[in-house]
């Protein structure tokens, strides 16, 4: 029988890498894993709305049917609150931070930022969606968590990860010592190590961007897209355009096969669409730990100043050489001043 390492076993084994760890981070990751399994079960039933009832309705069991992003948000908040290892939560679904104010959590040393169900608009068409999470050590000393606990550079992240609810359910996370992927084995209800020490190729032939926004892209992005589309056998061009519209799905594919994901400034999103705190920083941490890069077109994502919980930023993320080249085009044709206003 092939040796199977479950997420729980792996977390405990790796805890030894942190000599002063007393298990809090391990339990926090366990709590996230539990909520992910519950969300996965509901996501897999999403196509049965006719049988199970539409969001907002009362189903035949007399239960109120929630929109899946609301359901996911509630599951992660409940798991993190019950686990007692984090003192505050920031969520894409909540305007303000959520103070976890029970006896055990009040003085817990971690805060968690999350997008509980990224790409949820794709659920009704059976496209993969994901959860993104980021864990910081609180900067406040004791008592209820504060907004300032979240306004830290991405380089201060203690751990980050995503869960992809697709053809299989996978959790991919890092604690700063590499990236590891776990696939849910429904027969035993455990996440099992399936992608140890993930490394993303330095270059590849896939670019991911919503070209419907082309007209309003910065000139540097337009020039880079044209570079990707030119014919040149020596550099395997033209590249392939792959854009699912669900960031976790696009970024997970590119992490494994190599590629670049870009969400630059657009007319509709003049500061970029994706959120720095609970989308870009965690995805950047994972990508860098896998040997890739993540910038806003000019600067390293994880070094950007953050002043608001839901702050947006442009995102160029993936294979290091591709992100570098896109950055060269941005510097040459879009200039730092033009892109940061
Ligand atoms: P658009 C989902 O809403 C998301 O935040 C990412 O997951 C995804 O890559 C992007 O937005 C899709 O945005 O504007 O191309 O539909």
pLDDT tens digit string along 41-82? Answer: 988 876 666 555 566 766 656 666 668 888 999 999 999 999
Strand ranges, E, within the chain: 86-91, 98-99, 110-118, 129-137, 159-165, 169-174, 179-185, 190-195, 206-208, 240-241, 260-263, 293-295, 315-318
Cβ atoms 161, 150 nearer than 8 A: no
Task: Using most ligand atoms within 8 A of CB, pick from 127, 162, 263 the residue to mutate for ligand 1.
Answer: 263
Residues present in the chain in total: 341
Give the pLDDT confidence score for residue 125 in this predicted structure. Answer: 84
DSSP state, residue 6: B
**Neighbouring C-alpha atoms within 13 Å toward the C-beta of 60:** 5
3-state helix, strand, coil in the chain (%, to 5): 40, 20, 40
Q: CA 209 to CA 225: how far, in whole Å?
A: 9
Distance CA 322, CA 237 (A): 13
Q: Give the pLDDT confidence score for residue 60 in this predicted structure.
A: 59
What SS3 state is found at 319? Answer: coil
On whether the CB atoms of residues 218 and 333 are closer than 8 A, the answer is yes
The whole-angstrom distance between residue 306's C-alpha and the CA centroid of its chain comes to: 17
Tell me which residue has its CA closest to atom 15 in ligand 1: 210
Write the pLDDT tens digit of every residue in 214-258.
Answer: 999 999 999 999 999 999 999 999 999 999 999 999 999 999 999
Among residues 203, 286, 193, the alpha carbon closest in space to that of 237 is found at 203
User: Alpha helices of 210-246 — where are they, by DSSP H?
Assistant: 219-229
- SS3 label, residue 331: helix
First CA to last CA distance, the chain: 58
Q: Looking at ligand 1, which atom is closest to the CA of residue 261?
A: 9
Q: Using a 6 Å CB cutoff, which residues line ligand 1?
A: 118-119, 210, 245-247, 250, 273-274
Separation of 116 CA from ligand 1 center, angstroms? 14
Question: pLDDT tens per residue, the chain (341 residues)?
Answer: 678 999 999 988 887 777 666 788 889 999 999 999 999 998 887 666 655 556 676 665 666 666 888 899 999 999 999 999 999 999 999 999 999 988 888 889 999 999 999 998 888 788 999 999 999 999 998 889 999 999 999 999 999 999 999 989 999 999 999 999 999 999 999 999 999 999 999 999 999 999 999 999 999 999 999 999 999 999 999 999 999 999 999 999 999 999 999 999 999 999 999 999 999 999 999 999 999 999 999 999 999 999 999 999 999 999 999 999 999 999 999 986 544 44
Phi, psi torsion values for 18, nearest 5 degrees = -115, 90
Measuring from atom 2 of ligand 1, which residue has the nearest CA?
A: 119
- Inter-residue contact 140 to 291 (CB < 8 Å): no
Domain boundaries along the sequence of the chain: 7-195, 206-340
Half-sphere exposure of 340 (CA within 13 A, CB side): 10
Instruction: Quote the pLDDT of residue 14.
Output: 83
> Is domain 206-340 in CATH 3.90.1150.10, yes or no?
no
Give me ligand 1 centre to Cα 117, in Å: 12
Fold of 7-195: Fructose-1,6-Bisphosphatase; Chain A, domain 1 (3.30.540)
Q: How does strand 86-91 pair with strand 110-118?
A: parallel
- Which of 114, 115, 119 is the pocket-test mutation for ligand 1 (most atoms within 8 Å of CB)? 119
Instruction: Give residue 65's pLDDT.
Output: 65
105 within 8 A of 85, measured Cβ to Cβ = yes
Q: pTM of this prediction?
A: 0.94
132 Cβ partners below 8 Å, 6+ apart? 114, 115, 118, 161, 162, 248, 278, 279, 282, 283
Distances (CA, A) of 210 to 35, 206, 269, 280, 331: 31, 13, 12, 17, 21
User: What pLDDT was estimated at residue 19?
Assistant: 64
CB atoms within 10 A of CB 211: 12
Beta strand 293-295 pairing with 260-263? unpaired
């Amino acid at each position: 029988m092939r040796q199977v390492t479950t997420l729980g076993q792996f977390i405990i084994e790796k805890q030894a890498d942190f000599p002063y760890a007393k298990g809090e981070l391990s339990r926090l990751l366990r709590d996230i894993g539990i909520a992910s399994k519950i969300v996965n079960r509901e996501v897999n039933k999403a196509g049965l709305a006719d049988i199970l009832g539409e969001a907002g309705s009362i189903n035949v069991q007399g239960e109120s049917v929630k929109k899946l992003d609301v359901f996911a948000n509630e599951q992660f908040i409940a798991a993190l609150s019950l686990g007692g290892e984090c003192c505050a939560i920031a969520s894409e679904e909540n305007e303000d931070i959520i103070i976890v104010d029970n006896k055990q959590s009040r003085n817990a040393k971690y805060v968690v930022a999350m997008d509980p169900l990224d790409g949820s608009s794709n659920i009704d068409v059976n496209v993969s969606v994901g959860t993104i999470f980021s864990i910081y050590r609180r900067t406040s000393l004791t008592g209820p968590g504060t907004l300032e606990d979240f306004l830290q550079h991405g380089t201060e992240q203690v751990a980050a990860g995503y869960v992809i609810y697709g053809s299989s359910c996978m959790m991919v996370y890092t604690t700063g010592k590499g990236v590891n992927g776990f696939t849910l084995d429904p027969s035993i209800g455990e996440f099992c190590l399936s992608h140890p020490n993930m490394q993303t190729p330095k270059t590849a032939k896939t670019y991911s961007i919503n070209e419907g926004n082309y007209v309003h892209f910065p000139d540097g992005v337009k020039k880079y897209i044209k570079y990707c589309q030119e014919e040149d056998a020596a550099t395997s061009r033209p590249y392939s355009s792959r854009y699912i519209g669900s960031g976790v799905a696009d970024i997970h594919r590119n992490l494994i096969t190599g590629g670049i994901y870009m969400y630059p400034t657009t007319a509709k999103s003049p500061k970029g669409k994706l959120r720095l705190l609970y989308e870009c920083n965690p995805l950047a941490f994972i990508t860098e730990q896998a040997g890739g890069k993540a910038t806003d077109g000019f600067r390293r994502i994880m070094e950007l100043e953050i002043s608001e919980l839901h702050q947006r930023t442009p995102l160029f993320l993936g294979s290091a050489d591709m992100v570098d080249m896109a950055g060269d085009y941005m510097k040459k044709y879009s200039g730092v001043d033009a892109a940061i206003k």
